[in-house]
Structure 1
Amino acid sequence: MRAKINKRLWIAYTCCVLIPVLIIIFYLFAFAKDRYQSSSILLVKQVADAQVADASGLGALLGVSNTSREDSQILKEYIGSRDMIEGLDRVFDLRKEFSSVNDPVFALSKNASVEELVEYFNKIITVELDEQTMMLYVAAQGFSPEFSLKLNQEILRQSDNFINRISQTIAAEQQVFAKKQYQEATQQLDEARQAVLMYQNENEIFDPELQAKAIATLISGLQANLAQLKMEEHTLLSYLTHEAPQVVALRSQIDSVQKQINAESAKLTSPNNQKLNQNVADFEALKAQVEFASDLYKISLASLEKARLEASRKLKKLVVITEPRLAEDVMYPRKLYISITSFILLNIIFGIGLLIQSIVREHRE
């Protein structure tokens, strides 16, 4: 009875473990096609002008001013995206390349859909991001060393184009905005200048401030002259009477100078006529608008030139830390690892099955 049980156990072990392991080993060494891997390490570099808060370590060594986590994350997602795969397919005909070998497990189906191609591509392409250095590790597999190298190189080229295209799109949008701001600032400056010209023509005055300064200077001179005349009058009265011809003549000059002072002062602050000080205030407001519009014009012009400069150059690029190389050794499939792992897993599964069987048998008894 015991021999019978052992025989059954051996038959079950052979069917469940040994035969599957032998089939796997036979497939791996007889049918599985060798795959080679070419790898590279990338870094997204900001080449536009930027302020660096803390440049140290490898970032300072490479001159990387602003490598953001978002850029690296976006590039990682793009490499595995359908857009990237369709671009590579136009260059290499990926379906033909991945289905050209007779490998029912590791090769792609000849009639694979786009979705199947994307899924297969993401199995043979490894993209890992180092969260500390923001470096991307890219590994491409192929059934020949030459193809894996070409595939990795093309991934790098299209990734660089993608990063540059994004930055150029942003720069172009900034240029459109800067151009709009420049046009608005130009129009505002023209309107402010026209308002100044219209004010000068309507009031027949070039600059009220200059005219007010001239009048103030004239009044100051007249007042000095008036003070001198009054001093002479005081001197004459010390030895002449008020009716003396010299005193009368001097008083006439004093009255004339005083009237002229009053007349000139009235031009500045007379309540009966349009006050020159009001003209000065209005004209200063117009000049302030012109100056503001001129400053805004200068700023918008500088922004437009900066946007044009940024649009004409690369704002970001890929720094290839490690160039892809031609592989010499077979990397996949890892035949020994798969064989040993399969043997261990099948033994574990077989042991679990025996355990379950013994528990069920004990409950029945």
Structure 2
Amino acid sequence: MSQTAIESIEKRFTALHDSTSEEVWNDGDKLFELAEEIEKNDIYLARRVLQRVRTLQPKRPKLTQHLKRLSDEIEKSSKQAQTSSSSEYQPATENKKISLKSIVELAKNNKLWNKPWLIALIFPFLLFAFYQLVWAAPRYESRAQLIVQQPDGMSTMDPSMALLSGLGVGSNSGADSEIAKAYIHSEDMLNYLEKHSNLKAHYQQGGDLFSKLSNDASKEDLLQFYIEHTTVEIDDASGVLKVLVQAYTPEFANTLTQTVIDRAEWYINSIGHQLAAAQLKFIRSEHAKVELRLRNAQKQLLAFQQKHNLLDPEAEGLALQQITYGLEGQIATKSAELKGLLSTMTNKAPQVVMLEAEIDALKTQLELERAFVSTARFVAN
């Protein structure tokens, strides 16, 4: 198949895309039904649509068989065309001119010129055909793909810091693709292209009377013209950003596409750098707050130690705990002696009264030592 035929198929495919809703275009089942309807009139375009279905649904049953059947029919028709007599061949332009001439002669023979409504119908068609065949300037389209991804912040940052900065949450790559699409169609991108690619001059000097940009076009007109000639598509499944740029020369179309991709990549990276800088600033501020709280706690600890003469809270707490254990042992011993005396003496005996007083004193001291132990443990913690 010649390059011209392939370009013609791609043009029809692009026109079909523009006239089809996104819901149908991204639905493999609906697109398959559309291909079956197109096959009746345009088998080449039907095969191109099925290739799109294979991209959306690689595992669709019997899809390969349909593509092979269409390819066999196209190959068969091509062989029949090659075996036909060369005298019967005529250029496409001449065939179209003959067709237009036949329409005019048919109209004359059937006296169609006497009917004004037919004239109003045929005349615009003839003008449009003349414009497309003779006058219309060619346009060239360059395509490029851009993948927008974010690095995993958890792999380069401590988990606790990641929670503080919000990096642990999964990012939405679809939103990043939408941001890139909006920037490509923005006025900032247009200003950059005017500065580095002389875009306005190309739009005004190229094309024909109807397709080029007017010389007195405003900034808004230039932006609208640029948007109409720059298509951005987002694949929801893979997140791939496809950029299609039209220009009046293939070299300028390729250069313009590369410039748009480079600038969009710079913009997305700059947003990532700004976000990283903001997150780092937040982490540093949180770290400074933690350090300040730690210093204040240390000052309070030193003040408490000086106030209560605690040089080593843990060691002194351990010593106080040993004292409480000793007091508890003495209380147990004295209580046993008291029980022995009460078995032979009365409650008012001098030895009994003295022993009870010692036990009460030991219990009072035990409560004081326990209070010191609790204070020492609190300071150590």
Fold-level similarity (TM above 0.5)? yes
Q: 2:124 aligns with which of 20, 32, 49?
A: 20
Which residue identity is paired with 1:269? E
| 1:318-337 matched pairs, under 5 angstroms | none
Task: Kindly indicate whether residue 374 of structure 2 is the aligned counterpart of residue 269 of structure 1.
Answer: no
Q: 2:305 aligns with which of 200, 205, 212?
A: 200
Give the aligned length. 243
Which residue identity is paired with 1:185? V
Q: 1:155 aligns with which of 257, 260, 269?
A: 260
Name the SS for the 2:262 alignment partner: helix
Equivalent residue, structure 1, for 2:140: 36
For 2:127 and 2:374, how far apart are their aligned partners in 1? 100
Which residue identity is paired with 1:163? I
Q: 1:35 to 1:218 in 2, by over 3 A?
A: same
**What is the CA-CA distance between 1:208 and the residue it aligns to?**
4.0
For 1:223 and 1:284, how far apart are their aligned partners in 2? 19
Contact residue 96 and residue 110 of structure 1 kept, 8 A: no
**What is the CA-CA distance between 1:132 and the residue it aligns to?**
2.7
Name the SS for the 1:170 alignment partner: helix
| 1:129-168 matched pairs, under 5 angstroms | 129-168=234-273
Which residue identity is paired with 2:261? L
Identity of aligned residues (%): 27
Which residue identity is paired with 1:119? Q
Q: 1:25 to 1:226 in 2, by over 3 A?
A: closer
Contact residue 313 and residue 380 of structure 2 kept, 8 A: no
Instruction: Single out whichever of 201-210 and 158-167 deviates more from structure 2.
Output: 201-210
Equivalent residue, structure 2, for 1:182: 287
Name the SS for the 1:85 alignment partner: helix
For 1:260 and 1:228, how far apart are their aligned partners in 2? 9
| 1:76-225 matched pairs, under 5 angstroms | 76-101=181-206, 103-218=208-323, 220=325
For 1:230 and 1:21, how far apart are their aligned partners in 2? 123
Instruction: Single out whichever of 142-151 and 123-132 deviates more from structure 2.
Output: 123-132
Tell me the C-alpha RMSD between the 2 structures: 3.8
Name the SS for the 1:45 alignment partner: coil
Contact residue 45 and residue 66 of structure 1 kept, 8 A: no
| 1:214-363 matched pairs, under 5 angstroms | 214-218=319-323, 220=325, 269-270=367-368, 276-288=369-381
Using structure 1 for the length normalisation, give the TM-score.
0.56
Unmatched runs of 5 consecutive residues or more in structure 2: 1-109, 156-169, 337-350
**What is the CA-CA distance between 1:150 and the residue it aligns to?**
1.1
1:13-41, Cα deviation, whole Å (9 max, x unpaired) = 67424443333333334432211111122
**What is the CA-CA distance between 1:268 and the residue it aligns to?**
5.3
Q: 1:204 to 1:143 in 2, by over 3 A?
A: same
Q: 1:225 to 1:103 in 2, by over 3 A?
A: same
Which residue identity is paired with 1:206? L
Q: 1:287 to 1:32 in 2, by over 3 A?
A: farther
Which residue identity is paired with 1:42? L
Q: Name the structure where helix makes up a greater proportion of residues.
A: 2
1:220-267, Cα deviation, whole Å (9 max, x unpaired) = 468779999999xxxxxxxxxxxxxxxxxxx9xxx9xx989967x766
1:207-227, Cα deviation, whole Å (9 max, x unpaired) = 344323213325646877999
Name the SS for the 2:220 alignment partner: helix
Equivalent residue, structure 1, for 2:174: 69
Q: 1:278 to 1:177 in 2, by over 3 A?
A: farther
For 2:281 and 2:271, how far apart are their aligned partners in 1? 16
**What is the CA-CA distance between 1:192 and the residue it aligns to?**
0.3
Q: 1:226 to 1:66 in 2, by over 3 A?
A: closer
Contact residue 141 and residue 246 of structure 2 kept, 8 A: yes
For 2:380 and 2:326, how far apart are their aligned partners in 1? 29
**What is the CA-CA distance between 1:125 and the residue it aligns to?**
0.7
Contact residue 195 and residue 286 of structure 1 kept, 8 A: no
Contact residue 95 and residue 112 of structure 1 kept, 8 A: no
For 1:185 and 1:268, how far apart are their aligned partners in 2? 39
For 2:326 and 2:376, how far apart are their aligned partners in 1? 26
